């Protein structure tokens, strides 16, 4: 695909980058990303990926904007409080990215609809803070070999893992957290969250998505969980091994 003058100017600063260029730009333009949860992680991820050239996407959320979301969910304003998040993001997309091809789903992802929602996508970014949803998304991505970026934030800290879900080697969210019992995750509304922590993890999710989508040949690299410590301002990563007892191993 050749670029028109508008695209050449718009993406000029990344097109001239060593090791980026037209080939990788094309891969980004062709890729489809599904963002589950339009909250503190996926809003910055979405904004950066759009700016960089994402052209096809699905957004999923069932919540309405609350005033307390605004310290980190930077696409919304006070005028949006009480409105459905997907409606606000859809309006933003129509106004600022009229050529972007997007599907907006105002629903909660669950066991019944997950398979259909994640049908056509190159990668899923899970920014939900609900353990049931995270497990459902994980299971579907494993079954369909869809790469899953799983991220969470709380307080000053956050973490991010890309589960590649390729056929060669199984490593998934349940390998790390095999407890099938219902877990009540600590939530931002009770434990608090510094807005910038969401920004860091959301932006890292965008970086990781770009790296994956433009470097498919390297998909056999090891799986690492990245930790951000927002008090020490430190990033660390640890290698994750698969759990041979994981119930999702095919």
The residue range among 85-93, 123-131, 209-217, 240-248 that interacts with Zn ion, by the rule CB under 5 A, is 240-248
User: Whole-number minimum distance, CB 161 to Zn ion, in Å?
Assistant: 12
Residue 59 interacts with Zn ion (CB under 5 A): yes or no: no
For residue 139, state whether it binds Zn ion (rule: CB under 5 A): no
Single out the residue of 70, 74, 176, 246 in contact with Zn ion (rule: CB under 5 A): 246
- Residue from 44, 174, 201, 206 in contact with Zn ion (CB under 5 A): 174
Near Zn ion by CB under 5 A, which window of 20-28, 55-63, 159-167, 238-246?
238-246
With helix as H, strand as E and coil as C, how does the chain read? Answer: CCCCHHHHHHCHHHHCCCCCHHHHHHHHHHCEEEEECCCCCHHHHHHHHHHHCCCEEEEECCCECCHHHCCCCCCCCHHHCCCEHHHHHHHHHHHHCCCCEEEEECCCCCCCCHHHHCCCCCEEEECCCCHHHHHHHHHHHHHHCCCEEEEEEEECEEEEEEECCCCCCCCCHHHHCCCCCCCCCCCHHHHCECHHHHHHHHHHHHHHHHHHHHCHHHCCCCEEEEEEECCCCEEEEEEECCCCCCCCCC
Determine the residue with CB nearest Zn ion. Answer: 246
Scan residues 62-91 and list those touching Zn ion (CB under 5 A). none
Q: Is 47 in the site for Zn ion (CB under 5 A)?
A: no
Least distance from C-beta 171 to Zn ion, angstroms?
A: 6
Residues in contact with Zn ion, total (CB under 5 A)? Answer: 5
Binding residues for Zn ion, rule: CB under 5 A, are 172, 174-175, 246, 248
């Amino acid at each position: 695909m050749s670029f028109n003058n508008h695209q050449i100017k718009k993406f000029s600063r990344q097109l001239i980058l060593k090791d980026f260029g037209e080939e990788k730009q094309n891969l980004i333009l062709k890729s489809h990303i599904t963002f589950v949860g339009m909250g503190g992680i996926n809003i910055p991820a979405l904004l950066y990926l759009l700016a960089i050239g994402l052209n096809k996407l699905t957004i999923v959320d069932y919540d309405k904007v609350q005033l307390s979301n605004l310290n980190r969910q930077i696409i919304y304003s006070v005028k949006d409080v009480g409105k459905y998040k997907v409606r606000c993001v859809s309006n933003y997309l129509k106004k600022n990215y009229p050529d972007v091809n997007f599907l907006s789903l105002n629903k909660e992802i669950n066991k019944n609809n997950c398979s259909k929602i994640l049908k056509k996508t190159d990668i899923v970014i899970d920014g939900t803070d609900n353990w049931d949803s995270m497990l459902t998304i994980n299971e579907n991505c494993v079954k369909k070999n869809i790469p899953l970026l799983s991220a969470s934030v709380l307080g000053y800290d956050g973490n991010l893992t890309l589960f590649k879900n390729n056929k060669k080697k199984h490593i998934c969210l349940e390998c790390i957290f095999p407890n099938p019992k219902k877990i009540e995750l600590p939530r931002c509304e009770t434990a608090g969250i510094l807005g910038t922590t969401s920004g860091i993890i959301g932006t890292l999710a965008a970086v990781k998505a770009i790296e994956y989508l433009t470097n498919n040949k390297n998909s056999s690299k090891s799986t690492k969980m990245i930790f951000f410590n927002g008090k020490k301002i430190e990033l660390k990563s640890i290698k994750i091994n698969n759990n041979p007892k994981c119930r999702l191993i095919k």
